[in-house]
Structure 1
Amino acid sequence: MRPFLDEAKDLLARLVALPTVSAEGRALEEGAEAVAEVLEGLGLRAEVVLGYGAPVVLAEGGEGERRLLFYNHYDVQPPDPLELWESDPFALTERGGAWYGRGTYDDKGELLARVMALRLFREAHGFLPRVAFVVEGEEEVGSPHLGGFVADFAERLRSEATLWESGGVDAQDRPTAYAGLKGILAVELRARTAAYDLHSSYGAVVENPLYRLARALASLRDEEGRVLIPGFYDRVRPLTLAEREAIDEIPDESEELRQAFGVPGFLGGVRGAEFYEKLLAEPCVNINGVHGGYGGPGSKTVLPAFAFAKLDFRLVPDQDPEEVLGLLWRHLEAQGFHDLEVVPLEAGERPARSDLTHPFFGLVRRALEEAHGKKPVLYPNMAGSGPMHPFLHHLKAPAVGIGVGYPGSRVHSPNEHIRVADFQRGTLAILRLLELFFLGR
């Protein structure tokens, strides 16, 4: 397997060297061209599509009647803080049996695992199966233009299933797969109570914007985490029998997570299957930060004029971010907070969850178990968010995420990496899935 790994490392080094940071608009054209070149080297027809924000790479080709679609992205998170990296984030470095660099896992390493699996398939069976790739450059900033791209190119993307961008193994090295993602709505609440900052003595007669925000934020959820906005849960889709069974089969690591997080307990005292149901199948609201007034050393007796808070709502099928935004506005007005400004920070993403009874998931389970030698863990959806909904909505086919990472990959953090052994097993799992899907054996 060494030549295969050497080739994968060389290709990954070429992609990691490009600082494709979408939040800063860096090297996105170069990144798209490099991905197109890699996919053309596989034998696919690749084009760089413009007009949808960052360039989108669309590649197609191969033989046969059945068709599989791959979704990936070439953009990455900023490398900051740079001083915490042990090596250059944009120079692939191997140490301790792992490949380090920004994008080694999220998502350039995942993309290369699919490319290498297809190369191995062609070498073993003499032909390239019929596949397509969508590789975008805005995933790390919320994929604001991907929905339009998928809608416009739906006929060219039509496939029996989509292999989503990432996955890997859990803390016990059990292979994992997920069939959906939560949606997200990010907003900023802004409060202004004076034209400029005042002496704190006026706190006796002038409202403080931080008090306004504190009261408004406290009205959004109870002590167990249940959202108190009227109508918020009206569109929540009940779990199916297959989804509930999948949650019940997830190995319980809630106590280990509690200890790792350093928390006394979880909201509502949940543990076991109840913990995973709350984490994966229930929506929530989270305060990302509250800002205003003086935060420097010592004391400054000031009454701030302005304060703001950043929030995100994690949503589950069939909630709509735009509808939730409207519910939030109406709730705040009903609670007397008509003076607060509610500013959506991005377009939001709708939740997505595939049908776990689809035959494709049986193939995924079998491929993972054969490649890893362990029974896989299937999640109905992940607790995080991503742009899966347009694919399910427009293509009417299931999507599933499997990949090459592990919990310690430090995704979005300094020293991001993947273990070489995980890359090898993850690639072989994709190869096995290709064989089961295209050859039926």
Structure 2
Amino acid sequence: MTSTSSTDLIPHIERGLADLRDLVALQSVSAQGRMLPETAAHVTRLLEAEGFTVRSYPGEVAPVLVAEAGEGSATLLIYNHYDVQPEDPLELWDSPPFELTERDGRLYGRGASDDKGELASRLAAVRAVRERHEGRLPLRVRWLIEGEEEVGSPSLERFIAEHADELRADGCWWEFGGISPEGRPVASLGLKGVMGVELRCRVAASDLHSSLGAVIDNPLYRLARAVASLRDETGRVTIPGFHDDVREPSDADRAAIARIPGDGQPVRDTYGVTRPLATGSAYHERANLMPVVNVNGWGGGYQGEGSKTVLPAHGFVKLDFRLVPDQDPARILEVLRAHLDAQGLEDIEIVELEAHQKPARADAGHPFVRACIEAAGEAHGAEPIVHPSSAASGPMHPFTYHLGVPCVALGIGNVGGRVHAPNENIVREHFEKGVAFGVALLERLARE
């Protein structure tokens, strides 16, 4: 494959990096409600400067922006978000989290990858295409940018349902994507769903002396029983009925997975993994297609130094379920409740956390999907790696359900990008490639 020449993109790349520096400086932490209106206003100004008409709508947590520009027979919908995760723990950052810092070809800062780097690289691509076409966009671009993604996008599904007419498109360019260590673009055609819950158990009004453990049950033991009953040693969920609605992968899905190189070793190396559940050919099949349950955190009882002989009054466990088409979070809650009751754990309360996301997956043969894959190959000069589904989750289902559009995730992330963690980063060269891909995609869609 031949890569797109990027000589004429240099000014747009540099301006895009300046945009990213300004965006990273805005501490738009949705979990804490920090600087969300200010960041929405800044993004609005950036878009309006490139000829977009921008409408701002109130959300439950932050403004939702819908922008539109260009004309033509093709319509591209772009989805991004301007909110970021909290920077904690601050002491683990090697440079200030809200100050874009370059070291050894990488750019560090909260949101550098997720999702402000993606937003800035795409805006740079729009500028470049406008310049090539004497100030106009040769296709219609609709851009939805929210500020609630990092807290589960609680406003998004209803918003998309109510504003479907102004969001219609031929396809959606999703908010993230990656580049492999070998320099190949990595495309994801879907996302797993996610459901976060907290299991709570209380046995007394206050903590008791541990000598009473002979006659009073322990909430942490009951929670341990509950958690141990949810999966087996291979990671497969053991809740009766949990797998009933799982959609069988298509032949195209399995063929795409068979072509994915590697077995996850870069991930294991980056994070120092000592207990992998899958290697070899099973790694990518499970990451794409397997629903899982995760224990996110556990609390209760004495957590301090040394010993305290106490029988805790209460405890909790935080869980998330990663779901695949056609699993429904509401149905999963039902079978989870029935499963706990069958174990004699009726006293364990299930509390839903944040907004749930349903799974989504695009047809690998859709013309928009093919156009994205071909543009990625052109821009990167390398054959794309195609995942039928990302192992991650996000609010893709409302786009596929209410708008009927296929969604393709292609972007500038890297396996060592430490998204959601200290020292979040992108590779500078990947930002440049991301701009080139955006140009190639916009031009290809305008032609086709």
In the aligned structure 2, how far is the partner of 1:103 from the partner of 1:249? 31
- The percent of aligned pairs where both chains have the same amino acid is 53
Between stretches 139-148 and 10-19, larger displacement belongs to 10-19
Q: How far apart are 1:10 and its partner, in Å?
A: 1.9
State the SS of the aligned residue for 1:345. strand
Query: Residue 160 of structure 1 is aligned with which of 165, 170, 173?
Result: 170
Contact 1:258–1:265 (CA under 8 A) maintained in structure 2: no
Contact 2:190–2:362 (CA under 8 A) maintained in structure 1: yes
Q: How far apart are 1:369 and its partner, in Å?
A: 1.4
In the aligned structure 1, how far is the partner of 2:316 from the partner of 2:233? 22
In the aligned structure 2, how far is the partner of 1:407 from the partner of 1:51? 32
In the aligned structure 2, how far is the partner of 1:51 from the partner of 1:279? 32
Contact 1:236–1:316 (CA under 8 A) maintained in structure 2: yes
Contact 2:30–2:148 (CA under 8 A) maintained in structure 1: yes
Contact 1:349–1:386 (CA under 8 A) maintained in structure 2: yes
Q: 1:120-158 CA distances to partner (integer Å, 9 max, x unpaired)?
A: 111123321310100000000010110011001001000
The RMSD of aligned alpha carbons is: 1.5
State the SS of the aligned residue for 1:63. coil
1:269-288 correspondence to structure 2 within 5 Å: 270-288=278-296
Contact 1:216–1:337 (CA under 8 A) maintained in structure 2: yes
Contact 2:64–2:146 (CA under 8 A) maintained in structure 1: yes
One-letter code of the match for 1:29?
P
One-letter code of the match for 2:298?
V
Q: How far apart are 1:174 and its partner, in Å?
A: 1.4
Q: How far apart are 1:368 and its partner, in Å?
A: 1.4
- Structure 1 partner of 2:94: 86
Establish whether residue 304 from structure 1 lines up as the match of residue 304 from structure 2.
Answer: no
Query: Residue 422 of structure 1 is aligned with which of 414, 424, 430?
Result: 430
Establish whether residue 169 from structure 1 lines up as the match of residue 179 from structure 2.
Answer: yes
Establish whether residue 6 from structure 1 lines up as the match of residue 14 from structure 2.
Answer: yes
Alignment TM-score, normalising by the size of structure 1? 0.96
Between stretches 179-188 and 294-303, larger displacement belongs to 294-303
The change in CA–CA distance for 1:257 and 1:233 in structure 2 (over 3 A counts) is same
Between stretches 416-425 and 385-394, larger displacement belongs to 416-425
Contact 1:190–1:306 (CA under 8 A) maintained in structure 2: yes
Contact 1:404–1:427 (CA under 8 A) maintained in structure 2: no
Establish whether residue 253 from structure 1 lines up as the match of residue 225 from structure 2.
Answer: no
Establish whether residue 37 from structure 1 lines up as the match of residue 37 from structure 2.
Answer: no
1:242-391 correspondence to structure 2 within 5 Å: 242-258=252-268, 261-263=271-273, 266-267=276-277, 270-391=278-399
Q: 1:158-212 CA distances to partner (integer Å, 9 max, x unpaired)?
A: 0000000011201222111111111011111111112211111111111111111
- Structure 2 partner of 1:144: 154
Gap runs ≥5 in structure 2? 1-8
Between stretches 145-154 and 83-92, larger displacement belongs to 83-92
In the aligned structure 1, how far is the partner of 2:358 from the partner of 2:148? 16
Between stretches 292-301 and 173-182, larger displacement belongs to 292-301
1:12-51 correspondence to structure 2 within 5 Å: 12-51=20-59
Q: How far apart are 1:112 and its partner, in Å?
A: 1.2
State the SS of the aligned residue for 1:346. strand
In the aligned structure 1, how far is the partner of 2:103 from the partner of 2:238? 49
Contact 1:52–1:148 (CA under 8 A) maintained in structure 2: no
Q: How far apart are 1:18 and its partner, in Å?
A: 1.1
Establish whether residue 402 from structure 1 lines up as the match of residue 403 from structure 2.
Answer: no
Q: How far apart are 1:308 and its partner, in Å?
A: 1.0
Alignment TM-score, normalising by the size of structure 2? 0.94
Between stretches 251-260 and 188-197, larger displacement belongs to 251-260
Query: Residue 193 of structure 1 is aligned with which of 188, 193, 203?
Result: 203
In the aligned structure 1, how far is the partner of 2:128 from the partner of 2:407? 23
- Structure 2 partner of 1:73: 81
One-letter code of the match for 1:321?
P
- Structure 2 partner of 1:183: 193
Query: Residue 106 of structure 1 is aligned with which of 110, 114, 120?
Result: 114
In the aligned structure 1, how far is the partner of 2:336 from the partner of 2:102? 48
Gap runs ≥5 in structure 1? none
- Structure 1 partner of 2:400: 392
The change in CA–CA distance for 1:74 and 1:256 in structure 2 (over 3 A counts) is closer
One-letter code of the match for 2:394?
G
Q: 1:256-284 CA distances to partner (integer Å, 9 max, x unpaired)?
A: 545555555543xx433322111210111
Q: 1:343-364 CA distances to partner (integer Å, 9 max, x unpaired)?
A: 1112311011111110122222
In the aligned structure 1, how far is the partner of 2:298 from the partner of 2:157? 31
In the aligned structure 2, how far is the partner of 1:141 from the partner of 1:122? 34
One-letter code of the match for 1:295?
Q
Q: 1:11-64 CA distances to partner (integer Å, 9 max, x unpaired)?
A: 222222211100000111111111111111111101211245310111012111
In the aligned structure 2, how far is the partner of 1:240 from the partner of 1:121? 36
Q: 1:343-395 CA distances to partner (integer Å, 9 max, x unpaired)?
A: 11123110111111101222222211121111110111111110000000011
Q: How far apart are 1:97 and its partner, in Å?
A: 2.4
In the aligned structure 1, how far is the partner of 2:357 from the partner of 2:414? 25
One-letter code of the match for 1:97?
G
State the SS of the aligned residue for 1:231. coil
